[in-house]
Amino acid sequence: MVQDNQFGSNQQSQIRHDWKHAEVKALFDLPFNDLMFKAQTVHRENFNPNEVQVSTLLSIKTGACPEDCKYCSQSARYNTDIEKERLMEVEKVLEAAKIAKEQGSTRFCMGAGWRNPKARDMPFVLEMVKGVKAMGLETCMTLGMIDGEQADELQEAGLDYYNHNLDTSPEHYNSIITTRSYQDRLDTLQNVRDAGMKVCSGGIMGLGEKAQDRVSFLAQLANLPKHPDSVPINMLVKIEGTPLADVDDLDPFDFIRCIAVARIMMPKSHVRLSAGRDAMNEQMQSMCFLAGANSIFYGCKLLTTGNPEANKDMQLFAKLGINTETVDSADQTDEKAIQTAVINQQNSDLFYDATT
C-alpha cells in the first residue's frame, strides 16, 4: 500500500520556484506507475480530471523567418517546402476565429514566423486581437520577441496569453538556436508578465537532448518568477530540410514522463499536449491525459505541421468520457451541441490555405 508520506495529497500541489535538478531527476526516475499516480493525484487536486481545454492555432504569417531554429520549417535558412506568406488580412483571421469558435475552441491562438514584430505590423496585429476578443474567445499570440511597449499594446488590445517557448534546457539551447539567446527568451517572458498578460511557455522534446536536459528544462520553467499559465509540451515533428530531420525518435514513455513531471512541478498550470500528436496513437494520447495533460490544439495544422482533425479528437474524448473546458461568456453554448457540431462539420479550407 502506498504510504501517505510518499504520495500524500497534502503536499502534492505546493507551488515551488526552487526546484533542484536532483529533485527533478528523482521524479523522472520513479517507477512509471508511481510517477503516473503522483501526477494524477496532483492533477485531481487542481483540475477536473475529465476536462480538457481546447484551442485553435492559426498561422497569420508563414515562412521567411531569419532565425536558425534547427527544428523549424519556417526558417529562411533551410530548404523546406514552406511557401512564404505575408501577414494575413484582419478579416480573414476573424473568419478563421469564427469557424474555430463554431467548432468548439475556447481560445484562438495566432502565430507569426517573425524574429520580432515590426512597428508597421502592430496596428494589424492589434486589430486581430480586438476582433477575436469581441467574439468571446480567449486570445493568444506568438510573434517572437517583444519589448515592453509592444507587450503593453497587446495587453491593452485585449490579448490574454502570449506564447514564447524556452524550447529546451539552457545547456542544450546553443546546439539548437544561435540567433537569439536564452536570456532573450527570458526577457520576453518578463515583458509579458510585466504587462499583466498570461504566459504560455514550454518546449520541444526530442531535439536530440539528453535526459538531463529534460530535467534542466522543466526546472527552468518551474523556477520562473511565476509558473506559466499554459505549458505546451511538444514532441518534435521532423521536417525534411531542417538539421533535425534525421534525429533519433524520442521514446514515447520518455515523453509521457515529461508530461507527468511537468504536471507535478507546475500543479496549477494547464499542461498542453501540443505538436507531435499527429504521430501519437490514441493510447499514447490517453496516457498523456492520465499524466496530467489538460489542454490541446485541434484542427488540421499547428502553424505548419500536421495535427489530428477536430472530429478525431472529439471521438477520442467521447471514448474517454472527456469534456471540453468552457470559458465564462454571455453566449456560452451547450457542450453536447458543440461536440456534435465538431464531429459533423468538415474542416474549412481556410485553415489549410493560411498555414501551408
In angstroms and rounded to an integer, the radius of gyration of the C-alpha atoms of the chain is: 19
Cα–Cα nearest to 158, from 131, 185, 124: 131
Q: What is the number of residues in the chain?
A: 356
φ, ψ for residue 71, nearest 5 deg:
-100, -5
Is 214 noted as a catalytic residue in this protein? no
Is 272 noted as a catalytic residue in this protein? yes
| Catalytic hit among 107, 185, 200, 263 | 200
Query: For the packed helices 90-102 and 122-134, what is the interaxial angle rounded to 10 degrees?
Result: 30
| Catalytic hit among 72, 257, 258, 277 | 72
**CA diameter of the chain:** 63
Instruction: Find out whether 117 and 150 touch, Cβ atoms under 8 Å.
Output: yes
| Catalytic hit among 65, 180, 257, 277 | 65
What is the C-alpha separation between 252 and 240, in angstroms, rounded?
Answer: 21
What is the C-alpha separation between 121 and 289, in angstroms, rounded?
Answer: 38
Is 258 noted as a catalytic residue in this protein? no
SS3 of residue 47 by DSSP:
coil
Is 300 noted as a catalytic residue in this protein? no
Is 72 noted as a catalytic residue in this protein? yes
φ, ψ for residue 51, nearest 5 deg:
-135, 135
| Catalytic hit among 140, 185, 214, 258 | 140
Instruction: Count the Cβ atoms, other than its own, within 10 Å of residue 268.
Output: 12
| Catalytic hit among 214, 257, 272, 277 | 272
Instruction: Find out whether 212 and 6 touch, Cβ atoms under 8 Å.
Output: no
Q: Which residues pair with 111 in a beta bridge?
A: 59, 142
Catalytic residue numbers, as ranges: 65, 69, 72, 109, 140, 200, 272
